[in-house]
């Protein structure tokens, strides 16, 4: 995990973005990238490569479920965990969010400690995943190097 993880927060409510900023940036020290524009999410994700995305489901234009599917379909950004934060509180809504590819789901209203704990857990899993990818790439390079050495013999 980076020294200060970056979290992309997406909500069409400026009030909700402010609350997320107060909790995550001011209280817990995360770096935030924020948008209230659903059509900017994929490009902001590619540009900033955040460690975690907090995404509202109910937004004007493109809904969060569609955005989640778009992110998970993009090979460059598909491994960034998505945590839905939404007022939709039916169990079926949660299942839809998880089926769309999200790693977690928080219902509004939430406590700042729950939000922090869920973010930390998802960031920890992402950091371990990134470590495993790096280890795999290093091993693949080593195997390729050994194959080249064997060819020379």
Q: What is the arithmetic mean of pLDDT over 35-50?
A: 95
Whether 2 has a pLDDT exceeding 80, the answer reads no
Tell me how far apart the alpha carbons of residues 79 and 94 are, in angstroms, rounded to a whole number: 20
Cα 15 versus chain centre, distance: 21
DSSP run (H or E) holding 73 = helix 64-73
Whether 63 has a pLDDT exceeding 80, the answer reads yes
Q: CB within 8 A of 119, min separation 6: which ones?
A: 7, 24, 28, 30, 52, 54, 83
- Give me the chain's average pLDDT, please: 93
Which domains does the chain show, CATH number per domain? 6-152 (3.40.50.2300)
Q: CB within 8 A of 4, min separation 6: which ones?
A: 29, 30, 31
Q: What is the arithmetic mean of pLDDT over 40-44?
A: 95
pLDDT digits (tens, 9 = 90+) for 97-132: 999 999 999 999 999 999 999 999 999 999 999 999
Q: What is the arithmetic mean of pLDDT over 39-51?
A: 95
The predicted structure's pLDDT at residue 90: 84
Q: Are strands 82-86 and 6-10 parallel, antiparallel or unpaired?
A: unpaired
């Amino acid at each position: 995990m980076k020294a200060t993880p970056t979290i992309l927060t997406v909500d069409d409510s400026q009030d909700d973005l402010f609350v997320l900023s107060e909790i995550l940036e001011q209280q817990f020290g995360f770096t935030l990238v924020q948008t209230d524009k659903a059509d900017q999410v994929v490009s902001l994700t590619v540009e900033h490569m955040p460690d975690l995305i907090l995404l509202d489901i109910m937004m004007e234009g493109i809904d969060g479920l569609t955005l989640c599917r778009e992110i998970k379909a993009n090979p460059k950004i598909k491994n960034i965990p998505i945590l839905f934060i939404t007022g939709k509180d039916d169990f079926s809504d949660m299942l839809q969010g998880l089926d769309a590819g999200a790693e977690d789901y928080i219902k509004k209203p939430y406590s700042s400690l729950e939000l922090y704990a869920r973010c930390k857990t998802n960031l920890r899993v992402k950091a371990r995943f990134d470590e495993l990818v790096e280890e795999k790439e290093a091993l693949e390079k080593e195997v390729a190097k050994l194959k080249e050495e064997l060819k020379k013999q």
